[in-house]
Amino acid sequence: MTNEPAIWINAGETSGDLHGQLLVRALRDRCPGARFTGMAGPAMREEGVEDLLRTESLSVMGFTEVLAQLPKILGLLRTIRERLTALRPDVVVLIDAPDFHFRVAKIAKSLDIPVVYYISPKLWAWREGRVDFLRRHVDRLVCILPFEVEFYARHGMAVDYVGHPLLDSIRTDAILNTPRNPRRIGILPGSRKREIEGLLPVFSRAATLLAGRFPDLEFALPVAPGMDRELIRSCWHSDLPVTLAESSGRYELMRSCRAIMAASGTATLETALLETPTAVAYTFSLPTYLLGRMLVKVPFMSLPNLILNAPVFPEFLQRAAQPAALAAAVAQWIPETPERAEVLTRLATLPDLLGSGGAADRAAEIVCQTMRKKP
């Protein structure tokens, strides 16, 4: 019998895996002998989390995309129930990915295991009624966006606001002092296969158009862990070369760029905190898009625009995600223009809106407070 805590931590996508890595580091400082198991991706595995399941097995987004993977998802949930029943961890930590993690939360509570939900689900965008589910199945809800506190308060639920963990991993002197390359354009097509297949051909054709106006441009794409390089090459529909860079230096590369074309997601907040102007694009399956138009209540897709409450990054969704439109947006930022100066001015205000750093440390303290006490 041991008094060392057993912590189950579940990340359902690449961004959650990176947040999980920072959280595990902070937890190790408080509980050096803790055992970490759960659903982990490359970053959490690097931190020593035992991957009883892999984050890569749940890399889907959208209503119809989830339906297509339903048998696999149900199998993962059965496995999680079996492992949680056998291991009886002291706490379950769920990171984002609500459509999957709500079911995991229900399983954990049925086994009387405390649940911390880190990076609260974006119920303010749609499906507000699910707040009641969180109230019944989650012991502590940890928020990283400032406007979430007021949203949950309106629904009678107290939450813990810790600030955004990206501040600590991105806003370092070493990264912010990376020299700018005035001719480099970054390409961030997402990490999921469907995202790469849908967006990278569009980004590559936009690159061709940009190179026609600015012949000495270079293009660079940081390869996220688990991304298929052959898939990337097959979806790059341009005669221009694109440099495939290692993920370990992605923030330095993104900081060095003059501008970026990116899939909507956590990457857009990363580029915003790195103060690099970004054109945002995303495409969904038609049923997902139509359902989203009926249900989603927010005016913007990308987090920087939501936090700043303004269209600082131009967004090109669905049919609007066209090479000419993306190229035109990026082209306005290559010379020193008033448009570029305006974007940079707005981005400079973002860090102060996201807390003062130390989010993972504060979240780790909440996890420790929530653990079942050993007899």
Q: What is the pLDDT of residue 152?
A: 87
Integer angstrom CA distances of residue 191 from 100, 155, 169, 222, 335: 18, 34, 19, 10, 30
* pTM (predicted TM-score): 0.82
Domain segments of the chain: what residues?
A: 6-164+358-370, 173-353
6-164+358-370: which CATH topology? Rossmann fold (3.40.50)
Q: What is the pLDDT of residue 1?
A: 37
Q: What is the pLDDT of residue 292?
A: 54
Q: List, in sequence order, every beta strand (DSSP E) within 214-323.
A: 218-223, 242-246, 259-263, 278-282, 315-317
Pairing type for strands 218-223 and 6-11 reads unpaired
Collapsing DSSP states into helix, strand and coil, what is residue 282?
A: strand
Burial of 144 (0-12, 13-18, 19+ CB in 10 A): buried
CATH of domain 173-353: 3.40.50.2000
Taking the chain (375 residues) in runs of 10, the rounded mean pLDDT of each run is 82 88 95 93 94 79 55 89 96 91 95 94 68 92 89 87 92 96 96 90 98 97 86 96 93 98 93 98 68 60 91 94 98 97 97 91 96 65
Q: What is the pLDDT of residue 227?
A: 81
Q: What is the pLDDT of residue 296?
A: 57
